[in-house]
Amino acid sequence: MKGYINKIIENSFIDGPGNRMAIFLQGCNMGCLYCHNPETQRMCINCGRCLEVCSQGALSIKEGKINYNKQKCIGCDRCLEVCSEFSSPKYFEMQSDELVKIILDNEIFLDGITFSGGECTLQTDFIVDVVEKVKQKSNLTAFIDTNGLINENDLNRLISCVDGFMMDVKAIDDNTHRFLTGVSNETVLKNLKLLAKTDLLYEVRYVLVEGYNDSVEQVKYLAELIKNLNDYTRLVLIPFRPLGVKTYFKNLPLYNRQKYDIIYDEIYKVLKDRAIKKD
Ligand code: SF4
Ligand code: SF4
């Protein structure tokens, strides 16, 4: 089974519990205005634009397809800057067996693996294949980092084979969600409720974007919702940072620290230790 991978971080302490291999899959079903990894959103259309800015000769076109030479690349990311398709010439195809081997070769150092993106669940077949093979040969746990926009069939398949989910909620108000991401939050909230009733919803993440989704009422609503659904899911409050952002949101300032503390205090009143600060 073939997967499309943007990058693999062999040791990550921010993508779920413990030390995890984080596997970022290419492609997304949202288009968030404040996306920090915009080059993971879409598949490459082989337009060749990035080729012109690579001073190292690391990019070429072969049979109409962009070709990336990792050995020549110096990581300047000029190619990502000029790509207007929200893609990258650097993502690659990998067979699931090859990824399983990389994971198992690193097993001794790891607590588990996390699939992220992009929206990794768009490649559910690949994830399920990798996770089943890894679990046959190790005790590593598997987590999914998702935007929550998952169809019912894929969600049920993932629930039956992984150990946890981390889910972003971008906005509670549907119009705000549509504005920030391009899609409705109806499925996201439905999946949040469904996952919260399993023992698999490790964490919900909420990025505060000033003037868009940061009213105290909205964030408190989410905290109350989580509190009423179960007694274990954490809510991680993340201040907006313009780092990596490609849309006009890159001109917004860092989220106001005082406002952040005020909102955090409000959700702490609801969730206590399950309210998590992200500095
Ligand atoms: S990565 Fe972007 S700029 Fe480069 S060929 Fe693909 S679509 Fe074009
Ligand atoms: S990041 Fe690598 S491939 Fe992209 S422009 Fe720089 S040297 Fe070329």
Ligand 2 pocket residue status of 54, Cβ below 6 Å: yes
3-class DSSP assignment, residue 176 = helix
Closest by Cα among 117, 116, 93 to 38: 117
Predicted pLDDT at 279: 72
Q: What is the Cα 196 distance to its own chain's centre?
A: 19
Would you say domain 45-82 falls under CATH 3.40.50.620? no
Closest by Cα among 242, 144, 239, 252 to 195: 144
Q: How far apart are CA 274 and CA 59, in angstroms?
A: 46
Predicted pLDDT at 124: 98
Sequence spans of domains, the chain = 2-39+92-277, 45-82
Ligand 2 pocket residue status of 36, Cβ below 6 Å: no
Predicted pLDDT at 240: 97
Would you say domain 2-39+92-277 falls under CATH 3.20.20.70? yes
- The residue contributing the CA closest to ligand 1 atom 4 is 50
Residues 6 or more apart whose CB falls under 8 angstroms from that of 25 comprise 3, 4, 5, 6, 40, 115, 116, 117, 118, 119, 120, 122, 123, 126, 127
Cβ 236 vs Cβ 17: under 8 Å: no
Cβ 24 vs Cβ 117: under 8 Å: yes
Predicted pLDDT at 164: 98
Question: How far is ligand 2, taken at its centre, from the CA of residue 135, in Å?
Answer: 36
Strand-pair category, 20-25 with 2-12 = antiparallel
Predicted pLDDT at 270: 98
This prediction's pTM: 0.96
The angle formed by the CA atoms of residues 24, 70 and 107, to the nearest 5 degrees, is 45
Q: How many residues does the chain have?
A: 279
* Rounded alpha-carbon distances, angstroms, from residue 273 to 35, 151, 205, 268: 28, 31, 15, 7
Question: How far is ligand 1, taken at its centre, from the CA of residue 15, in Å?
Answer: 28
Q: What are the backbone dihedrals phi and psi of residue 161, each rounded to the nearest 5 degrees, phi first?
A: -130, -10
Tokens of 205: 């993440």
Tokens of 136: 């046959």
Q: How far apart are CA 254 and CA 119, in angstroms?
A: 25
Segment-wise mean pLDDT, segments of 10 residues, the chain, 279 residues: 98 97 98 97 97 96 94 96 97 98 97 98 98 98 98 98 98 98 98 97 98 96 97 98 95 96 98 94
- The residue contributing the CA closest to ligand 1 atom 6 is 44
Residue 153 C-beta-side C-alpha neighbours within 13 Å: 4
- Tens of pLDDT, residue by residue over 148-158, are 999 999 999 99
Question: How far is ligand 1, taken at its centre, from the CA of residue 44, in Å?
Answer: 5
